[in-house]
Amino acid sequence: MKNTLLISQIVLSVIITTLILLQAQGTGLGSTWGGGGETYHTRRGIEKVLFYFTIAAITIFASVSLAIIII
């Protein structure tokens, strides 16, 4: 059981990393150090779906992490 949870945690970490990198696409390095924040940008379409999938994956990852500690 514990091995299954550990493997699922590894898979979820790869999925979360991929989702975060897909969201950051097109932002450039200017916004990293304070630039690029002049306009308000709302999430639409696929950006919104990626955002919600990221939140769901992080929630599942946290739940699996807690389950590993409890077991």
- CB-based contact 60:12 (threshold 8 Å): yes
Output the pLDDT for position 36. Answer: 54
What pLDDT shows up at residue 6?
96
Q: Report the pLDDT value the prediction gives residue 4, as an integer from 0 to 100.
A: 96
**Cα→Cα distances 30→15, 19, 26, 36, 37, Å:** 26, 21, 11, 6, 9
61-71 residue pLDDT tens: 999 999 999 98
What is the rounded distance in angstroms from the CA atom of residue 13 to the CA atom of residue 1?
A: 19
Q: Whole-model pTM?
A: 0.75
What are the E-state strand segments in 1-71? none
Domain ranges of the chain: 1-20+43-71
Encode pLDDT of 9-44 as tens digits.
999 999 999 999 988 655 555 555 555 555 666 778
